Amino acid sequence: MNKELVNQLYLAAANGRVSLNEPMSAHTTFKTGGTAEVFVELSNADELREVLRILGKNEPFCLIGNGSNLLVSDSGIKGAVLHLAKGFDEIKVCGDTLICGAASPLSRIARAAYENGLTGFEFAAGIPGSLGGAVVMNAGAYDGEMKNVVESVTLMDYEGNTAEKSADEMRFSYRRSILKEEKLIVLCAVIKLGHGDKREIKEKMDDFAARRRDKQPLEYPSAGSAFKRPEGYFAAKLIEDAGLKGFRIGGAMVSEKHAGFVVNAGNAASADIYALIREVQKRVRDNSGVCLETEVICLGDFGE
Ligand SMILES: Cc1cc2nc3c(=O)[nH]c(=O)nc-3n(C[C@H](O)[C@H](O)[C@H](O)COP(=O)(O)OP(=O)(O)OC[C@H]3O[C@@H](n4cnc5c(N)ncnc54)[C@H](O)[C@@H]3O)c2cc1C
């Protein structure tokens, strides 16, 4: 990106932060990946609109949330990485609804719901994403998903226009939303919950947290389940049946605790993780005939 554009970005994101060659390992839960050519943290919709105008149609850019579902190439990301940061993380409680900025951590929204005696968001308390990423992914766990709690979403298109979409218009389905097809940015969402008993809400959250600690390799960096659940099967079982528990490439490993998780077992490169994911897909296909689709999103060039 040329210097003039970078200077314009500095001015546009005056309340945020612009940095060059930002290590993406600091922004992904895999803790791997090369650098972003330009990393822009934004603190309000006007800054975002101005940055989109500067980048226009010619400069490549992408958005990240909390980086908990991302694998960034070791060669990094060309162009700009946009990150909605402070200023986008407000949570307002109005009766049984919460109006949450895209950068709000799901854990904080769950906490706010609990404190206000609101039930329905317990499922998301242990998902380490932001509201924006969770809306994009229709994140879910323990029979809950964003689809069930999102009432509406405020979005910005790449021209800087904002619009509100209802939950129906978001076309949520298993780990999908309209944002998988349309170039839109989540600014905030209205979450509608029910009134509940605080003690029961707490018990439910504690139970889900205990189940995560028990079943998931939370001691290692990862991006959660690497693969989507194929219809009629469980990815972890297929991987285990293919004899791949503990299988390693470089520093990447199929978790011994939960075979659906690919973990960074120590100094993994993104290339190790990527190669491991591909090898798991191949061996599971050979063993069971089932094609595993990745849930993890790859950003940058992986040489394919
Ligand atoms: C230990 C662990 C456990 C996990 N458990 C679960 C689980 O139980 N259920 C589950 O569903 N997931 C789980 N995940 C995966 C992950 O946390 C979710 O997919 C989460 O919703 C991703 O949110 P994020 O903010 O980190 O998004 P990112 O990973 O940063 O981004 C995900 C996608 O959303 C896009 N995006 C992010 N923010 C915006 C925005 N504001 N506007 C437009 N696009 C945006 C990005 O471009 C990218 O395409 C887990 C991950 C880990 C590490």
SS3 assignment for the chain: CCHHHHHHHHHHCCCCEEEEEEEHHHCCCCCCCCEEEEEEEECCHHHHHHHHHHHCCCCCEEEECCCCCEEECCCCEEEEEEEECCCCCCEEEECCEEEEECCCEHHHHHHHHHHCCEECCHHHCCCCCEHHHHHHHCCEECCEEHHHHEEEEEEEECCCCEEEEECHHHCCECCECHHHCCCEEEEEEEEECEECCHHHHHHHHHHHHHHHHHHCCCCCCEEEECECCCCCCCHHHHHHHCCCCCCEECCEEECCCCCCEEEECCCCCHHHHHHHHHHHHHHHHHHHCCCCCECCEEECCCCC
Mean pLDDT of 77-91: 96
Atom from ligand 1 closest to the CA of residue 136? 34
Rounded distance from Cα 31 to ligand 1 centre (Å): 15
The closest residue, in CA terms, to atom 32 on ligand 1 is: 133
Rounded distance from Cα 132 to ligand 1 centre (Å): 8
Distance CA 41, CA 15 (A): 9
**Could you tell me which of 291, 289, 264 has the C-alpha nearest to residue 276?**
264
The closest residue, in CA terms, to atom 44 on ligand 1 is: 185
So what's the pLDDT on residue 57? 79
Distance CA 5, CA 9 (A): 6
Half-sphere exposure at residue 247, Cβ-oriented, CA atoms within 13 angstroms: 21
Kindly list the catalytic residues.
175, 225, 295
Q: How confident is the model at residue 300 (pLDDT cuts 50, 70, 90)?
A: very high
The closest residue, in CA terms, to atom 6 on ligand 1 is: 127
Mean pLDDT of the chain: 96
Which of 29, 41, 64 best tests ligand 1's pocket when mutated (most atoms within 8 Å of CB)? 64
pLDDT higher than threshold 90 for residue 17: no
Atom from ligand 1 closest to the CA of residue 187? 41
Mean pLDDT of 280-291: 97
The closest residue, in CA terms, to atom 10 on ligand 1 is: 139
The closest residue, in CA terms, to atom 52 on ligand 1 is: 224
So what's the pLDDT on residue 273? 98
End-to-end CA distance of the chain: 24
Rounded distance from Cα 7 to ligand 1 centre (Å): 30
So what's the pLDDT on residue 14? 80
Q: How many CB atoms lie within 10 A of CB 39?
A: 23
Which of 127, 179, 208 best tests ligand 1's pocket when mutated (most atoms within 8 Å of CB)? 127
Mean pLDDT of 53-79: 95
Tokens of 279: 């090898």
Query: What residues does ligand 1 touch, defined as CB less than 6 Å away?
Result: 29, 62-70, 84, 102, 127-130, 132-134, 136-137, 139-141, 179, 185-186, 218, 222-224, 297
pLDDT higher than threshold 90 for residue 151: yes
pLDDT higher than threshold 90 for residue 103: yes
Residue for token digits 């109006």? 99
Q: How confident is the model at residue 221 (pLDDT cuts 50, 70, 90)?
A: very high
What distances in angstroms separate CA 257 from CA 1, 52, 246, 265, 275, one per listed residue? 43, 43, 9, 13, 20
Q: How confident is the model at residue 138 (pLDDT cuts 50, 70, 90)?
A: very high
What single letter denotes the amino acid at residue 18? V
The alpha carbon torsion through 59, 89, 124, 129 (nearest 10 deg) reads 30
So what's the pLDDT on residue 25? 97
So what's the pLDDT on residue 33? 97
Rounded distance from Cα 214 to ligand 1 centre (Å): 21
Atom from ligand 1 closest to the CA of residue 27? 30
pLDDT higher than threshold 90 for residue 1: no
